[in-house]
Every structure is written in structure tokens, then in C-alpha cells.
Structure 1
Amino acid sequence: MATGRSPSSRPPGTVGVRGWVVRDVEDDWNTQNIAARARALTPDLVGELERLAAVPSIAFPGFPPHEVIRAHDHVVRMLTEAGVRDVGAIRLPDTPPVITGSIPAPEGAPTVLLYAHYDVQPPGDEALWRTPPFAPAPFDEDGEKGIRARGIADDKSNILAHVGAIRAWNGRPPVGIKIVIEGAEEWGSPLDEYPARRPGEFQADAMAVADMGNIRAGQPTLTVGLRGVADVIVEVRTLEGAKHSGNFGGPAPDAMLALVRALSSLHDDNGDVAVAGLRREPWTGATYTDVEFGEAVGAEPGMPLLGTGTLGERLWSGPAITVTGIDAIPVDKAAGACVPHARAKINLRIHPAQPAREAREALIRHLEAQRPFGIPLTVSVAGEAGDGYRAETGGPAMEAMTAAMRAAYGTDPVQMAAGGAIPLVSALHRAVPKAEILLFGAQDGKCNLHAPNERVLVSELENTVVAEALFFAEFAARWSPAGEMS
């Protein structure tokens, strides 16, 4: 049976890391004191987060690569000072280094892989920001203290959550640690293909993927599903060139009219996806209210939401199809002519358990079967399809994180899914199928990730640090070499 140990049975010891020292008393290792120690780190962690968020670490082409490396160096320093050993890198072609490191597991204890990323999205239109995107700005709104900056929620706050959890244990947690922090997640990293080639580098008993957050501030949330993703291009060619709409309009096969007709077939009159073969089922976990969702998406007052069924079903356990771009004549350059050529890019989001390629083929079949006004369409794939992920929820790691979150936040955690894909998660699952993957973080439903005025709340960062630090103890206490609950 199990050989799990109580967190308070951890051998006493003093570890001096940049002056952060605990008393050499065994009783100091109980979970209550670990939580207090983690909370006491908040001012230092906020300062480090502000310094890291001031670095414009955008890995997209056209932005200064040395800024990404500057963020890399900052993270390496924090990890080293926290007590992570053998800090190194996975170096892949044309991408910033993936930071690695480890802390050996105590005898009989499990190992936890900690994931985050140090690159960020571009700021977009800076005129829409209340403060400069790379000048972290503290704020206090309705009694909630926070910091505003690009990338401060996605995903630099979650790097600090890992650092803080390790520091709470003075670099000697009751579990082994593996570090994987990448630098091109937002742009698209070749790391997604790497775990299958080197699964041994990712071996762990649980993986704490901190690139998510809570459904709303103060409500601890575990993400248990991620939708998959695929893109296709649909194209229509009808004429050798543009033709005068007065002389030829009417019978002339207009490419734009054909494309619009085909695109309209993707949804029914309610806005539900109308493509056969795409998986959809009821959602039973937590979800947003209509008001919360309307505020988060920025819907105009009185604007209806699309589709039927619960929001969770429409967002997470069913498909979504979005036309993300159309190539045609711009309105301000339009002439009185029939359009000879038009094409559109379609983004498909897929049920977490449906293979992405299977779903993409269903979409392609649907489009190829369309003959708007008798006109054929050409459909092609655009990039790789990424599978979703659905977590197992009954293992010791999930139970440990549930208990840790309850203690940190003072309320029971809920489970939700996410519409955005994280292809690395499915890659890690395929490479290390026995590892439980926990998706969580310091973000919340109103943090504005990928949007102007991105922000993180100090309370969310603090509670995430406490929850992760307590998770280490809870997981060690539940663990047995066979991976069974104690």
C-alpha cells in the first residue's frame, strides 16, 4: 500500500537562499506555517513580477529578440535563487531557450513538473491602454489591488507562482521538481513536437501547467478540458478577372456571393454549428453567467449571444466555428465589378475528446459538399491540427490540488474547461500518459489576457502561490510508489 508521509514529517533543515531562511524546527514544516510563509512572500513576488513584466519579451517576428533573452535571464536568476538546481535549457531551432531545472525528490516522494512561459503577446493598439503596456502600473479598484501590464497575467504571474511555491519551502519541497518554462508559446514553439522525441526529459508523476486561471476572482478553479483546434482555407475562383457589374452582374458567377453563401451554411438560424460529425455534449461543470460572459467579451448592450444550450456547452464541450479572415476587395477600394476570386480562413475549435484531424475532416467534407449556386469550392488545410485534452479527475494529484486550493482560498474549487487550445498539453499527455496534468493559475475571467489593459490581481497571485505550495505537501502525503491514494 501507500508510503505517503505527512507533510509535517519532513526532515527539519535551514536553507539560506538570498536571505530567506526558516527556523530549524521540525514543527515549522506543517501546512499552516507553509501557507503563512507563502503569503509573507507576496510583497517580494509582486516586486519581481513588476520587474519581469517590464521586459517586452515578445517572440513574434519583427520584435527585438534580445528582450526575450532578457526575460529568460531574469527567470533563470529567480529560479536559481529559489533553490532550483541544474538550471539549463532545451535549445530548439529558431526559438528562445526552454528553461529547465530540477530539485531532486526526497526518497519515496513523487515528482512534479512545473510549466509556464516567459514570452508574451504583442500589446496591440497602445492607444487603447490606460497605461503603457510595459510600464507595470499598480492600481486599486473597488478594494482590489492589482498590476496592469502586457503579459502580467499570461503568463508571468504564473512563473512567479512557481517561484513562490518553491521559495515557501526554502528550495526543499517534499516532492521532486522539474522545470519547463518556454519562451515562444504565444508565437508557436517547436517544443510542442519535442516531448514525443524525448519523453524521458518530461517524466513526472504530475504536471502543474500554470497557464490558466480562475473562472472569476476568488473562486479556485481547475481546468479539466481544453478544446482542440484546426484551421482550413476555403477558396472560390469563378472568372478570369473582375467584370463590370452593370454589364454582367446578375448571371455572372460572383465569387464573393458564392463564398458568403457557403459560409452561411456552417451555422443554423440559432447560431449553433451545423456541421455533421462534430462532437457536442452537455457541460456539467462550472460556467460563466450570461452577464459575466457578455462583459468579458465586450458585447454591445442588448446584443444576443449565439447558439443554444448552456454557455459551458457552447464554449467547451461543443464545437465553435469562426471565420477569422476574408480575402476580397476592401470596401474603400471597391469598384462596380463582379468579384472573380475570394477566400476565407476558418478556425475550428473542437470537443476536448475528439481527435482534431477527425473534426477537421468533417468540416472539409461539409464545405466540399456545398455548391453555392452550383459553384464548386476548393478547401485546404492551414497548418497542423492540435488535439484537445480532457483530464482524469480521480487521481492523487487532482485530489491533492483540490484540498490545497480549498485551504488557500477558503472555499471549494470548481472545475471548468477552456476554449483556447494549448497543444503542448496534449503533447505532454502523449509523452507521459500516466502523469496527471493540473491546469490552473493566477489569471481570472476579467484579466484581459491578449487584450488591452491586461492585469493581475495581487490576491489571485498570492492564493495561487499558497495553493501550489500546499499542493506539494498534499501530493507527497497522498503518494505511494504505485501512484495510489494513501
Structure 2
Amino acid sequence: MADPQDPQDPQAAADRLMDGLRADLERLAAIPSIAFPGFPPEPVREAHDLLVGLLRDAGVAHIETIELPDTAPVIFGEIPPPTPDAPTVLLYSHYDVQPPGDERLWDSPPFEPTPIEGGLRARGIADDKSNVIAHLGMLRAFDGRPPVGVKIVFEGQEEYGSPFDTYPPTDPERFACDAMVIADLGNVRPGTPTLTTGLRGAAEVIVEVRTLKEPRHSGEFGGAAPDALLVLLKALATLHDVHGDVAVEGLRRDEWTGAGFTEDEFRDLAGVEAGLPLLGSGTLGERLWSGPAITVIGIDAPSVDHAASAVVPYARAKLNLRFHPRQDPHEARAALVDHLSALKPFGVPLTVTPGDTGPGYEAATDGPAYRAARAALATAWGTEASYIATGGSIPLVNGLAQAAPHAEVLLFGAQDNQCNLHAPNERVLLSELRATVVAMCAFVTGYAADFTREGRS
């Protein structure tokens, strides 16, 4: 695609590139680039160096490494706009991966990319190395001269959490752009092109109870001595109503009007045991994306295997709250803290400690980048794009949005909700990778044309 005004068919370009892209994906996925404490840093640097070389080969002349304290290196690359009235698109993905977990649960070694029907299996091959390669595919399709300016951000510590999440607003000129493609997501299901338009926010709260100086014999004291674990359980039971819906006042819940899972799809994805009901009422979209969720993610209490016949003097739980993309994070966390602080189960007060919180995000979808993205995804997958949200959070999205507040934020990529990200036997489908390359090519072409027309009108 040497001439950005007369590009080749993006389908043909993707077909021409796929063998090389697959080979590079296998090379990248074979590197155990885990940026968690306790893992060697050398593989993370190896993945960084491989990508720098691949970017140079794809025609990116300006490449820097952003070195921040306590995080892995961030690759930053830049291609200037071809004309003064062309837009600039920022491309984001990350090259670090989750640890593999229990390798006995894998059907093949997690860092030996293995062919499967229609795709490849390896840790991190979907999340997020497939999307790194999709960005590279677009650059190769245009011989490094796309019809838009490009800024590239390949992060090296997204999975563990990084100071880079809050860095972009401190250097807004570097990240200034007209649109950004955050490729750390994918389709609601294989073959269904999907734009993610909302991310729920997240907060943590710890609640604890102390009732006795030390354990006391349950036969001699049980029935009158206040049991800390019973107090805690009674408090936790107030967080949901009889249907399983969150019962905390002040947490926002709206109707969900976008696409979503069928109940059978969700049961399969979540691994729900046969015959069990799902929690809550209303649509799955409301329960998963446009409404709150409270999960008890940990409890400190005596273990069953080592339990003594004694009244428990102390118990503690950690709660994870997910809330509406547009709700203020401090307001949401305060709603949960206030609910728990007002309780005195059996007359016993609780100690409630607010933890970390992070905002959600909801994208505006009425600009030229979204018009171009909808058309590009339809070109790539042969059907109209759907909108979904996600219950997970990507903190960097807010950091980049603050650095470039007028930029349109697009979230799509080569993953899909059946790819087993963060789980054993993670996989990517080559059809999804190919379609993402097609979509990226069609997007920058359509966006450049639409942006230029708007500028001249």
C-alpha cells in the first residue's frame, strides 16, 4: 500500500502478510515475558528488543524506549502524518503476559506456541501479543507509510500494573492524537465484529470484625459470646437481595441496549455448574456492564482443615466492587463503605477500610473515527459491528484519554471472549488475527478520507 490515496484491497494485503505475521507471533509468544515480581526480567527485555526490530523493519524510523521507575520498558514509536491535514492515530497494546499458572492444566507447554484447529495456543498469544502483531500487520500493509500519522505505544507491564497508567497526562504532547485504537480486547464471540464502548470502574474495600481477645471454647461460650465470623457473614449477606442483585444504595444501574452474551454462552464461558441459576435479575448486560457487582474475593477465618471447637474472635473480608462506567469512583466506593459502616450485626460494629479505586470509561461513539471503525469492521468480518462493554478495567485508557481529551477512543482487537485469556490453554484464532489486520487497514484509510473531508468542509 505504497500510495495511501489509492490503497490495495486490505483483504489481499492481509492474505499476503499472514504467513509472516503468524511466524512473528510464534516468535513473540515463545518469549515468557512475565513482568510480575519473582519472574526474571530478561525475557521482558527480549520481547521488547524483538518488537523494536520488527517495528524498524515495518518502516518506523522514530522509536524510543520510555523508562519509568518500577516498571518494564514502554516502546514508543512515531510516523509523522503524510500531509498537514491528515489525522494522527495512537496504537496501543502490551507485550507482557500473565503467568501460566498450573502448567499441568495446559494441553501443551505454555511458551511453546502450538497449532490447534484454526489457530495457535500459548500464554499471552491472544492477550495481547496477537494485537501487537495486528498493529504491525497494518504498518507492513502500507510499507510504513499509512495515510495517517501514527504513534505506537507497546507497554511491557500492563498485566501486573504499572506507573505508566498515570504517566500520559504528565507528557500530553507525546500522546497527542485525534483517535486511539486500544487493542487489548476483541470480539464478543469469534466472527462477530465488536467495539467495546464501556469499561466498569473498580474499587476495593476491607471489612473486619474483632469480638474477643482470643478464641473461646464453643461448648462453654458459644451461644452468648459474639462470634466474629457470624457477624461478618451476616454483614456480607446484606450486600445482595434475594435475587442476587446488589442491594447497596447509591450504586448506578442502567438499562443495557448494546449486544451481549446469550445465557448459554455466558454459562459456558463462566464454567457454571449444570443446573445452577445465575445471580441477579434483568439482562446480562445490566448485570455485567451497566450495573454494579460486588464480589467477596477473600476471607480471613480459620480453615476447615485446622478448625478448633472455638468461638472465632476475628474475621476479615476483602470486597471487589465493579461499578457503572460513568459513576464517580469515589462516590461508588463511598456507597459501599457507608452501607457497611451503618451495619451493626448482632449489635457489633464493623471496621471498614476503603482501598484502591479506579474510574470506568465510556466512549463517545458519534465522531469520524467511530464511523470509520464501524465501516472497517464490517469490511473485515462481513457483518455490522456490535457494541459491548466489559466488566474489567484498563486503567491506561483513562490516562491516555486525559492526555488527549479530544481524541476518540476505539477498543477492538484480535481476541475473543472464548480465547481463555488469563486461563490455561489460551488461544488465538488466525481468522480473527487476519480480520483485525484487515480492519486496521480499512480503518486508517477510511478515517483519513473522512477526517480530510471534514477538515475541508
List per-residue Cα deviations over 1:323-372 (Å, max 9, x = no partner): 00011111111101111111111000010000111100000000101111
The SS at the match of 1:333 is coil
Q: Relative to 1, partners in 2 of residues 1:289 and 1:484: Cα closer, same or farther, differing over 3 Å?
A: farther
The SS at the match of 2:189 is coil
Q: Distance in 1 between matches of 2:456 and 2:290?
A: 29
Q: Distance in 2 between matches of 1:93 and 1:32?
A: 43
Q: Distance in 2 between matches of 1:230 and 1:36?
A: 46
Q: Distance in 1 between matches of 2:113 and 2:15?
A: 22
Query: How far off is 1:32 after superposition?
Result: 4.9
Q: Aligned letter for 2:346? A: F
2:206 touches 2:316 (CA, 8 Å); kept in 1? Answer: yes
List per-residue Cα deviations over 1:167-202 (Å, max 9, x = no partner): 110100000000111111010010111112111111
| Segment of structure 1 superposing worse, 171-180 or 472-481 | 472-481
Q: Distance in 1 between matches of 2:106 and 2:289?
A: 30
Partner of 2:97: 120
Residue 325 (structure 1) aligned with residue 302 (structure 2): no
Partner of 2:40: 64
Q: Distance in 2 between matches of 1:168 and 1:304?
A: 48
Q: Distance in 1 between matches of 2:377 and 2:226?
A: 60
User: Any residues of structure 2 matched to 1:98-137 within 5 Å, and which?
Assistant: 98-107=74-83, 108-137=85-114
Q: Relative to 1, partners in 2 of residues 1:256 and 1:480: Cα closer, same or farther, differing over 3 Å?
A: same
Gaps of 5+ in 1: 1-11, 14-25
Residue 445 (structure 1) aligned with residue 421 (structure 2): no
Partner of 2:268: 295
1:35 touches 1:469 (CA, 8 Å); kept in 2? Answer: no
Residue 147 (structure 1) aligned with residue 81 (structure 2): no
List per-residue Cα deviations over 1:97-141 (Å, max 9, x = no partner): 11101001011100000000011111111111111111111111x
Which of 344, 349, 361 pairs up with 1:389? 361
Which of 169, 172, 175 pairs up with 2:142? 169
Q: Distance in 2 between matches of 1:432 and 1:29?
A: 27
Partner of 2:255: 282
Q: Aligned letter for 2:427? A: R
Residue 38 (structure 1) aligned with residue 14 (structure 2): yes
Partner of 1:355: 328
Query: How far off is 1:31 after superposition?
Result: 4.7
List per-residue Cα deviations over 1:63-88 (Å, max 9, x = no partner): 11111111111111111111112111
Q: Aligned letter for 1:469? A: C
1:395 touches 1:485 (CA, 8 Å); kept in 2? Answer: no
1:57 touches 1:118 (CA, 8 Å); kept in 2? Answer: yes
The SS at the match of 2:127 is helix
Residue 304 (structure 1) aligned with residue 277 (structure 2): yes
Which of 202, 216, 224 pairs up with 1:229? 202
After TM superposition, which residue ranges in structure 1, 4 or more long, deviate above 4 angstroms? 483-486
Q: Aligned letter for 1:463? A: A
Q: Relative to 1, partners in 2 of residues 1:363 and 1:485: Cα closer, same or farther, differing over 3 Å?
A: farther
Partner of 2:229: 256
1:478 touches 1:485 (CA, 8 Å); kept in 2? Answer: no
Q: Aligned letter for 1:130? A: D
List per-residue Cα deviations over 1:215-263 (Å, max 9, x = no partner): 0000100000000011111111111111111111111111111111111
Gaps of 5+ in 2: none
Query: How far off is 1:30 after superposition?
Result: 3.7
The SS at the match of 1:95 is coil
Partner of 1:178: 151
Query: How far off is 1:480 after superposition?
Result: 3.8
Note the aligned Cα RMSD (angstroms): 1.4
2:91 touches 2:151 (CA, 8 Å); kept in 1? Answer: yes
Percent identity of paired positions between Structure 1 and Structure 2? 61
Query: How far off is 1:273 after superposition?
Result: 0.4
Query: How far off is 1:294 after superposition?
Result: 0.4
Query: How far off is 1:410 after superposition?
Result: 0.9
Q: Aligned letter for 2:409? A: I
1:239 touches 1:253 (CA, 8 Å); kept in 2? Answer: yes
Partner of 1:203: 176
Residue 270 (structure 1) aligned with residue 243 (structure 2): yes
1:31 touches 1:470 (CA, 8 Å); kept in 2? Answer: no
Which of 462, 467, 471 pairs up with 2:439? 467
Q: Distance in 2 between matches of 1:339 and 1:265?
A: 21
Q: Distance in 1 between matches of 2:456 and 2:276?
A: 49
Q: Aligned letter for 1:122? A: P
Q: Distance in 2 between matches of 1:177 and 1:185?
A: 21
Q: Aligned letter for 1:95? A: T
Partner of 1:79: 55
Residue 53 (structure 1) aligned with residue 25 (structure 2): no
1:286 touches 1:414 (CA, 8 Å); kept in 2? Answer: yes
2:71 touches 2:164 (CA, 8 Å); kept in 1? Answer: no
The SS at the match of 1:382 is strand
Q: Aligned letter for 2:382? A: G
Which of 165, 168, 175 pairs up with 1:192? 165
Q: Distance in 2 between matches of 1:350 and 1:286?
A: 19
2:374 touches 2:385 (CA, 8 Å); kept in 1? Answer: yes
Q: Aligned letter for 1:44? A: G
Query: How far off is 1:484 after superposition?
Result: 5.9
Q: Distance in 2 between matches of 1:35 and 1:83?
A: 21
TM-score between both structures, scaled by the size of structure 1: 0.92
Q: Distance in 2 between matches of 1:406 and 1:208?
A: 17
Q: Distance in 2 between matches of 1:349 and 1:229?
A: 5
Q: Distance in 2 between matches of 1:224 and 1:31?
A: 29
Q: Distance in 1 between matches of 2:383 and 2:277?
A: 33
The SS at the match of 1:331 is coil
2:5 touches 2:147 (CA, 8 Å); kept in 1? Answer: no
User: Any residues of structure 2 matched to 1:421-436 within 5 Å, and which?
Assistant: 421-436=393-408
Query: How far off is 1:477 after superposition?
Result: 0.3
The SS at the match of 2:294 is strand
